[in-house]
Amino acid sequence: MVPPATLANVVPAPPATLPSRDFGDPSLYLNRELAQIEFNMRVMAQAEDPRNPLLERLRFMCISCTNLDEFFEVRVAILKHHLAFGDVQVGADAMPTVEVLARIRERTLALVKKQYDFWNETLLPELEREGIRFPRRDAWTVKQRRWLQGYFRNETLPVLSPLGLDPAHPFPRILNKSLTLAVVLKGKDAFGREGHMALLRAPRSLPRIIRLPAEVAERAYEFVFLADILHEFMDELFPGMQVKGSYQFRVTRNSELSVDEEEVENLALALRDELRGRGYAKAVRLEVGSNCPKAITSMLKQNFELTDQDVYRCEGPVNVSRSTVIYDQIDRPDLKYAAFTPRVHPALADEASLFDAIRERDILLHHPFESFATVSELVKQASLDPGVLAIKQTLYRAGTDSPLVDHLIEAARQGKDVTVVVELRARFDEEANLRLANRLQEAGVQVVYGVVGYKTHAKMLLVVRREAGALRRYVHLSTGNYHQVTSRIYTDFGLMTADPEIGEDAHLLFLQLSGLGPIIKLKQLLHSPFTLHKGLMAKIEREAEHARTGRPARITAKINALNEPAVIAALYAASCAGVQIDLIVRGACTLRPGLAGVSENIRVRSIVGRFLEHSRVYWFANDGQPEIYCSSADWLDRNLLRRVETCFPIRDPELAARVHDEALANYLADNTQAWQLEADGSYTHLEPGDATPHSAQSTLLAELCG
C-alpha cells in the first residue's frame, strides 16, 4: 500500500496579499450536464482499453449506454421541461439552457459514435475470434434459419400484437425504452384495407437476445437479437401482404416523478399512481436504426413531438446495451476479471458475538474487498439476541431478496421494536421500495417514509441492547447502501461502533426522521440539511486560515460528484490562501482546477475501473491534528441542502490512518486508471511512464483479499 502522505510538503508561504477575485464569476465553473457526459466518455474508454478482459469491455460499453439512457431520462428531461415552460434555471456556469442542449447533442453524438464503432469494428470481431458470435441474418446457415423460424413460430408469434396504423388505429402509446419496429406494407388485408404502415412492439416478456443451441451453433457461443428474428420473419405476421421494410426505433421518456409531497395525504399511494404513468411521460430522445427512411423518422418525430435535434441514428441494434446479458451465459473466466473472495472480518470467526467485538473496538469495513456479510450478521444477531430491544435502520436501496430484510422481519416476529425508514423516492427503485415497505409492514415492522421534501439518503443502523442492567447502543454507519449485490461491485466504507456519543447522535437522528422533533444538536455527526454544509465550509475556511498563517494546510476528498457553488467558491478561496487540495471525483465535477489566481493549488482526478468508486471520504490536515470523515453525501447542492445525509468521523487513530491510506493516498498514487481534469473540462488519462504502474483497486484486492 502507498504510505499516507506526510504534511511536510503542505506548508505554504503566507501570501503577502490575497488576490481579489469574484468567485461567483460563471467562467470559473464547468457545466454539470456536460461534465456528466464526460464521465460516460471515461466509462466508454474502459471498453476501448485492450488491457481489460474482453467481456468486461462489453460490460463497460453497456454501462455507458445505460448511463446515457438515465442521463436523458433525468437531466435532459429536466432541461427540456424548464425550457418548455419558460422556467429556465441556469447553473453556476450561467450557460443558457438552449446552448446546454446543443452541446449535449454534440457530445452525445460523439459518444454514440464511439459506442457503435467499438461494437462493429472491435467487439464483434474480437468476440468471434474467441468463439462468441452474433451471426448476421445473411450469414445464418440453413439449420440455424430453420431453428430460428421454429423459435419465432412457437415462442414469439403467439405473444406478438402488430398494430396497423389507420384512422381506426391511431399511433399508439409507446413505452419508455421499449424496442419497436416500424413496418412498411404493400397490398390489402382480409378486410380489403390498403396496407401502409404498422408498428410491432417487442413484448417485454421475451428475451432480447437468444442463444442458439449447440445442435445448430457453429461456435461455442452464438447469439441472435430478437429484433433480427422479427425482421427476418415479419412477413408471417402479415399474410397476403408484402413487407417492404421494417425499421427499429426506441423512444426515451422523462422518468422524473413529480409528486407534490406537500399536497398529498398518502405519499405511498400518490407515488404508486405516478409510477403507472412514468413509462408514457413526455419523450426526450428518439433512437432509430441507421437504415430508417427519412419519411418514417419524420412520422415518428411528429408523433413523439420531437425535433431533428432529438434523433440519434444507431449503426447497429438500437438496444445494443441488452448484449450485457451474454456475460453471465458465457463460461470463460479468461475473458473476465479474476474472481475474488472478500475478506471476512475476524469478528465473525467461531460464531463470535459481534456485540462483544464492537464493544471492545470499532470495526471498519471496506467493501467490496471486505465482506458485507458482517453487516448482515450484525442484524441477524440482533434479531435473535434476547438482550436486543430495538433495531432502527434506513433503507435507500436494498435490492430484491435481501437477507438483511429477512433478519429485520425475524426481529419483528421475535417481539423486538423494529423501525425502518424506507425512502420511496430512490430513483428507479421506487416500485421495489414500495413492495419492500409493504412486506415489512405486513410483518409488523414500523415503516416510515422519512421527511416530506427531503430524500433520506443517510445510511444508518442502530441496535439498542440491554447489558448488565443498562442500555447500550450499537451503530453502523456507511457511505453506501444496504445492498447485498452492489456491495460486491461498489467501493464503500462502513463503521461499526459502540461509541456513546455517536450512538446518541444516531438515536436523535432516528427520532427526527420518524417524528416531528425540533432541530437537534449532535455531538459527533454532521448531517444534512442542517450542519453538514456549514461544517464543511467551516473546515475549508479553517484550512485557509492555517495557510494564511503559514501552518500546515491541506484538503483531500474522495467523492462521486461536485457542483455546490458555495463549496467550490470556498475551495477556490482556500487555494488562493495556499491550501493544497486534492479531489478524487469519480463523476461530474464543475470546479475548474489549475486556473491562474484561483485554483493553481487544486488538482482533480477521476478513477474509473473494475469497481464503481462510491465511497465519500473527507480529510483535513488541521495543523498537524488531521480529521477524517466518511459520509453518505457528495458535494452536490441536493446532498448538502435538500437531503437527509450523515457524515461521521473515524475516531480510532489506527482506523483513521487506514481510511486515509486506502481511500486517499492509494488513489492519489494511481497512474493506470486515473484521469486528470483539465481547466477546460477535458480529461487526460494518466500513464505510468517510467514510474512503477499502480492501480488503486488492484492494490486493495491484493492486500485485503489476497
Strand partners, 591: 29
Which letter, b or e, does each residue of 612-626 get, where b requires 16 or more Cβ atoms within 10 Å of its Cβ? Answer: bbbbbbbbbbbeeeb
Cell matching residue 231? 425482421
- How far the first Cα of the chain sits from its last, in Å, is 13
Cell matching residue 273? 399512481
- Find out whether the peptide bond into 368 is cis, omega within 30 degrees of 0: yes
CA–CA dist 572, 563 (Å, integer): 13
443 Cβ contact list (under 8 Å, min separation 6): 409, 412, 413
Q: Which residue has the cell 463470535?
A: 352
Say whether 581 sits in a helix, a strand or coil: strand
Cell matching residue 56? 468486461
CA–CA dist 577, 23 (Å, integer): 14
CA–CA dist 78, 69 (Å, integer): 14
CA–CA dist 133, 157 (Å, integer): 25
Distances (CA, A) of 473 to 326, 352, 467, 480: 46, 19, 10, 21
Using N-to-C axis directions, what is the helix angle for 267-278 and 430-442, rounded to 10°?
140
Strand partners, 314: 289
Is residue 507 flagged as an active site residue?
no
Strand partners, 617: 558, 630
SS3 of 377-395:
HHHHHHHHCCCEEEEEEEE
Strand partners, 555: 581, 620
CA–CA dist 425, 12 (Å, integer): 45
Catalytic member of 345, 407, 457, 614: 457
Q: How many CA within 13 A on the CB side of residue 498?
A: 15
CA–CA dist 291, 630 (Å, integer): 51
Contact 577, 548 (CB under 8 A): yes
Strand partners, 602: 581
Instruction: For residue 259, give the nearest of 418, 395, 424, 141 by alpha carbon.
Output: 424
Element (H, E) at 275: helix 267-278
Contact 202, 179 (CB under 8 A): yes
DSSP 638-696: HHHHSEEEEEEE--SHHHHHHHIIIIIIHHHT--SSEEEEPTTS-EEE---TTSPP--H
CA–CA dist 508, 500 (Å, integer): 12
Which letter, b or e, does each residue of 31-42 get, where b requires 16 or more Cβ atoms within 10 Å of its Cβ? Answer: bbbbbbbbbbbb
Which residues are identified as catalytic?
457
